[in-house]
Copies of this chain bind each other. A is one copy, B any other.
Amino acid sequence: MKKRVVSWVACTVLCVMTVFAQEALFNKNDITSPEVNADGSVTFRLDAPKAVKVELTGDFLPLMKVSTPKGEVEQAGIVEMKEGENGIWTYTSEKLSPELYYYKFKVDGMDYLDPSNVYMSRDIATYTNIFIVEKEKGDKGCLYSVNDIPHGNVSKVWYDSPTLKMKRRMTVYTPAGYDKGGRYPVLYLLHGAGGDEDAWTTLGRAAQILDNLIAAGKAKPMIVVMPNGNTNCEATPGEWSKGMYKPSFRGHATSKAVASMDESFPDIVKYIETYYRTLKGKKSRAICGLSMGGGHSFAISKRYPDMFDYVGLFSAAINMGGNDTEKEIANLFAARPKLYWIAIGNTDFLYKGNEDYRKFLDSKGFKYEYLETDGGHIWRNWRIYLTLFAQKIFQ
């Protein structure tokens, strides 16, 4: 009797569940999209038999010039997909070079996420599907992928910030082998405006980049601390008591912060150096960030000239305002950081601010390294900058 019941249960799990259980469990969609072909081209597919027009937009398509009230601007390219007899629309791209790419569909004008692709990233309030093209070991696609190597752990950690009068959430990467013992240097890695403590591990692929560089012996094993740079917030949207609100570029909360990122930053360092096995002293600390986070790295490093031996400004929003700015910068360079690294894309809207800042540094004889890449204010550049910066620190 029991045996028969068992077989019934086993069969049930395999067969009947597809009919009875909650709808979300059983999507019948069995289209493959995107499909990275052997030659590096990518085929996209969407089942939309009733659609009149299906388009694809993605950052691998040539930029288009569009007129706006503020003049001509560049936007992501867009192409039309073709409908097959079965109502499935397809498009195959050119051969793409190794990279992590974004895309989404437009169905009769409405943005549409690819239901066949569970991989997507949120940038502020907008999701976009992602895929990776990789060709060979060590290329960018490989570097942003999860490979068969030891992996670090990624944790969402609540720390106390007495300066900001709140508990706050940050993301902490500990390298493979951290659990077995030892002490490690620390990289503080800061996000841009509109971002949060999730941004570098999602859009930025920080854990994959570090795993891959460390496994290849190209970067030292290090702890990477990714705090939340919005000092009026405790955490990423939905992860603190403000509720499931819609994030926006101009700030994640309506309240005013009681202190700035640079004023409150020592709370983070104190927590990390108390509760993690860290190597102490400026030679074992690095800080870098993108855009607003580059501005934070600029501000924090000059405010605490003995804290970091490695400073990276990625497409940084540099603010030279304030009475003591020049004096603080002079103090920072007097403390002789091992590396002061500036990187920006040649079409970045912050290019001129960075150019002026470099002129200032040159005029004072303050030593820095400079990298200029193609492109603008985009994650594709920031992933490259992290990859390069991570190999330059703690060596």
Contacts and interface: CB of A to CB of B under 8 A. Distances in A.
Contact of A118 (B130, B151, B155, B247): B247
A146 B241 contact: yes
Contacts of A8: 352-353
Contacts of A126: 24-25, 27, 29, 115
Interface stretch (A256-264, A299-307, A316-324, A333-341): A316-324
Interface in A176-228: 176, 179, 193-194
A2 interface: yes
B179 A275 contact: yes
Contacts of A9: 317-319, 350, 352-353
Interface stretch (A90-98, A279-287, A372-380, A385-393): A372-380
Contact of A22 (B131, B150, B378): B378
A331 interface: no
A140 to B, nearest CB: 15
Interface in A153-175: 153-158, 167, 169
A238 B118 contact: yes
A108 B51 CA distance: 8
A278 interface: no
Interface residues of A, number: 106
A328 interface: no
Interface string A216-248: 000000000000000000000111110110110
A42 interface: no
Contact of A110 (B107, B116, B156, B169): B107
Given A117-B246, A118-B125, A131-B244, A349 B108 contact: no
Nearest to A2: B320
A273 interface: no
A86 interface: no
Q: Sorted from nearest, which 9 A-B pairs have the closest CB atoms?
A: A155-B155, A9-B353, A148-B241, A27-B126, A24-B123, A5-B356, A21-B377, A6-B320, A23-B76
Given A20-B74, A152-B158, 13 more contacts: A6-B318, A6-B319, A6-B320, A12-B350, A13-B350, A22-B76, A24-B124, A24-B128, A32-B246, A50-B108, A108-B108, A146-B243, A150-B167
